[in-house]
Structure 1
Amino acid sequence: MSLVSAAVIAHRGASGHRPEHSLAAYLLAAEQGADAVEPDVVLSKDGVPVVRHENEISATTDVASRPEFADRRRSRSVDGRMLTGWFTEDFTWEELSTLRTREPHPALRPDSAAHDGEGTVLRLRDVLGVCDRARPDGSRPGAVVEIKHAAHFEGLGLDVVAAITDELAEAGWAEGGDRLVIESFEPTALRRVAERMPQTRRVLLLESSGVPFDLASAHAAGRGPIPSDTAELLTDAGLDRLSSEFAGISVDKELLVGDGARGADLVGAAHDRGLLVYTWTLRPENAFLEERHRTGRAGGLGDWQAEFADVFATGVDGVFADHPDLALAARRSALA
């Protein structure tokens, strides 16, 4: 499996159908034929790579209803934002493994919410185990592993890069080849990956605007230059710099299909420099679609077929999708 030619990457598993990062979500993504799955990785108190979209877990687990953990609720700054809730770094893996998964958007996704409580929190190694299972056609899904909040964890004395790369090596993924991509919003974390796993494809995630938190934080502390923002990074000069370090970029879909977006021109400029381009996140609900594709009731599905087609038409190398089955159907239509 090669993560090129508009790969469909199951975002947190088939998270539109089952609670995100649950075993059921990953198994369903593999069954539906996703080319790869995307586990976000944070750390437990004892340094175990845990699969959660954020280290604050009140919306995606049942931790808030667990009286034995009531005293763990606190407020904490994460990447410059003050959050209140329960944080993975305050729990051992043994404690986290007792939590049950929940759908974070129950009003939008009641079918997924019907599976609340069925799954438990996973480790990175559990997701890699799903990827190692052969499907009926003999194929195996790849993994796009996202490093979350590396600078934040470093400030707590926890090394998320070392934990992830060690876990990958122990699971036999040290030479992941074209089945493995490691991505992050933090260039510093990806540079450390390059030191530990130099053959691994590294992809820099880019918000629609702003600067990477790790670089902004280092500059504020007098440890680095003024960082470039997204707009500057996507100029010809910025893409030249990115291509010297990374295998690709992964951009907010607004930068490809939003009003005034450069779309195919941006993808082409990146490709000219040897950069892969991924985009996130394809979702069919009106709440997540560009305004021109919203139809019907606010909480329902919009014209996702048109938006997905617009994304594939830009020539991207991969799309992250909560509903891999819908993205695969849109890819088939685009190819046809």
Structure 2
Amino acid sequence: MSKFSVVILTLTFIGCQTNEIKIAQPKAEKIVIAHRGASGYLPEHTLPAKTMAYAMGADFLEQDIVLSKDNVPIVIHDIHLETVTDVAIQFSNRKREDNRYYVIDFTFEELKQLNVSERFDPLTNKAIYPNRFPLGKSSFKLHSLQEEIELIQGLNKSTGKNIGIYPEIKDPVFHLKEGKDISKIVLNILTKYGYKNKKDRCILQCFDANELKRIRTELKSELFLVQLMEFKEEETRLEEFSKYADGIGPWIQQIIIGKNKDGTWQISNLVSNAHQLHLKVHAYTFRADQLGDFSSFDELLNVALYEANIDGVFTDFPDKVVKFLNKN
């Protein structure tokens, strides 16, 4: 009998006697994406919110990108300014006919003059999430994609970590109508900072399927691409998405669709269908202060990550997701 056989028999005997030897099944890697930074604690898309999310252990930090008048990529969620800044006070005469203030109408230097706050309703001046960072307190500013990349890469150097970026091309059709090719500008910056292919810690996302396909085919990007999804009818397009994208980013309610009569959660086939096409699934948005029918944030995370088997979460509370994953 070989030494290998003796070892196997010994382990088998011990296992039968004590029932202590168990082979653990490895869990698939789950990633934490800081949605607009640690936006549950600090105003979204500010450098302090990104720094906090970095310290909380997120795997990726998200950057929504809109162009300024002078073609600087600005990290802000919308093409408009009035829901997160004091633009209506500082530049009251710069709104368009629809009464909106557009990022693209301001130079980078002008945008840097604005004060950033927690998201609010400009009609009532009340915070969208009243229990988050108080409106009008402290000092926060807008910044460029380059500034954020340099912050993250600087922290990677000083901490020895390798936290990634997760930029989103916002409203490319709007930018093209304004005479600007936002995707080309952003890709050039990403390349300059060393984000070139799937091995680099950069995931590029967009809701516009035509634009994301263009990024892959016409602009020849080799980055990891994620097709964001919002509508149920898009679920029939997974095979099409798989031709150019590496993953999908659906709304969580496209995955967890309700409760059965016995109290268990109904899970759609979206994740399993995507996995069959080798697409990763990063779902949005997980908020501890917006739970819906879930009894706790942990319950929501457990259903999404383990019952539905998604691969990653966009969350305003990266610390809570990191803590949940570490104990499960």
What is the TM-score of this pair, normalised by structure 1? Answer: 0.79
What's the CA shift string for 1:23-61, capped at 9, x where partnerless?
Answer: 100000000010001110001111111011001111111
Q: Which region of structure 1 is more displaced relative to structure 2, 149-158 or 262-271?
A: 262-271
Counterpart for residue 318 of structure 1? 312
Amino acid at match of 1:156: E
Q: Distance in 2 between matches of 1:264 and 1:38?
A: 26
Tell me the equivalent position of 2:294: 293
Cross-structure match for 1:41: 65
Instruction: Name the SS for the 1:19 alignment partner.
Output: coil
Q: Which residue of 1 aligns with 2:133?
A: 112
- Aligned CA distance change for structure 1 residues 107 and 89 (closer, same or farther; 3 Å): closer
1:60 aligns with 2:84: yes
Residue 186 of structure 2 is aligned with which of 164, 174, 181? 164
- Tell me how far 1:305 sits from its aligned partner: 1.9
Report the count of equivalent residues: 287
Q: Give the 5 Å matches for 1:136-175.
A: 138-175=160-197
Going from structure 1 to structure 2, the CA distance change for 1:38 and 1:90 (only over 3 Å counts) comes to same
- Residues 13 and 37 of structure 1 are in contact (CA less than 8 Å); yes or no, is this contact kept in structure 2? yes
* 1:208-227 → structure 2 map (5 Å cutoff): 209=231
Structure 2 unpaired stretches of 5+:
1-27, 121-126, 260-264
Query: For residue 289 of structure 1, what is the amino acid of its counterpart?
Result: L
Structure 2 equivalent of residue 281 of structure 1: 285
Alpha-carbon distance in structure 1 between the residues aligned to 2:248 and 2:273: 12
Which residue number corresponds to residue 300 of structure 2?
A: 307
- Please tell me the residue identity of whatever aligns with 1:204: Q
Amino acid at match of 1:245: Y
2:221 matched to 1:205? no
Q: Which residue of 2 aligns with 1:128?
A: 149
Checking the alignment, whether the CA contact within 8 Å between 1:30 and 1:135 is kept in structure 2 is no
Counterpart secondary structure, 2:240: helix
Q: CA deviation at 1:265?
A: 3.3
**Do the aligned partners of 2:61 and 2:165 also contact (CA within 8 Å) in 1?**
yes
Verify the 8 A CA contact 2:195 2:223 in the aligned structure 1.
no
Verify the 8 A CA contact 1:283 1:321 in the aligned structure 2. Answer: yes
Q: Which residue of 1 aligns with 2:241?
A: 242
Amino acid at match of 2:65: V
How much does 1:277 deviate?
Answer: 0.6
Instruction: Name the CA distance, whole Å, in 2 between partners of 1:23 and 1:128.
Output: 10
* Structure 1 Cα separation of the partners of residues 156 and 31 of structure 2: 18
Pair 1:271 & 2:275 matched:
yes
Larger Cα-atom Rg = 2
Cα separation, partners in 2 of 1:187 and 1:116, compared to 1, 3 Å: farther
SS of residue matched to 2:248: strand
**What do the CA deviations read for 1:103-130 (whole angstroms, capped 9, x no partner)?**
0153634442267451210111112112
> Does structure 2 retain, via aligned residues, the 8 Å contact 1:293–1:307?
yes
CA RMSD of aligned residues (A): 2.1
Change (3 A) 1:161 1:33: same
State whether structure 2 residue 78 is matched by structure 1 residue 85: no
Aligned to 1:327: 321
The answer (yes or no) to whether the contact 2:82–2:88 under 8 Å persists in 1 is yes
3-state SS in 2 of match to 1:196: coil
Secondary structure of the residue aligned to 2:255 is: helix
Q: SS of the counterpart of 1:309?
A: helix
Post-superposition Cα deviations, 1:154-177, rounded to whole Å, max 9, x if no partner, equal 001011111111111222323462
Deviation, 1:199, is 1.2
SS at match of 1:319: strand
Task: Provide the rounded CA distance (Å) in 1 between the counterparts of 2:119 and 2:31.
Answer: 26
> For the residues of structure 2 that align with 1:46 and 1:60, how far apart are their CA atoms?
21
Task: Provide the C-alpha distance between the structure 2 equivalents of 1:323 and 1:168, rounded to a whole number of angstroms.
Answer: 26
Task: Quote the Cα distance in structure 1 between the aligned partners of 2:196 and 2:266.
Answer: 36
Query: Residues 253-308 of structure 1: CA distance to partner in whole angstroms, max 9, x if unpaired?
Result: 001123278636321221111111110000011xx323x226xxxxxxxx222112
Partner-residue secondary structure (3-state), 1:259: strand
Between the two proteins, what is the percent identity of the paired residues? 29
Q: Secondary structure at the match of 2:148?
A: helix
Other-structure match for 2:19:
none
Contact kept in structure 2, 1:8 and 1:327, CA below 8 Å: yes
1:13 maps to which residue?
37
Give the partner amino acid of 1:138. Answer: G
What corresponds to 1:298 in structure 2?
Answer: none
Q: Give 1:323's aligned amino acid.
A: F
SS at match of 1:130: helix
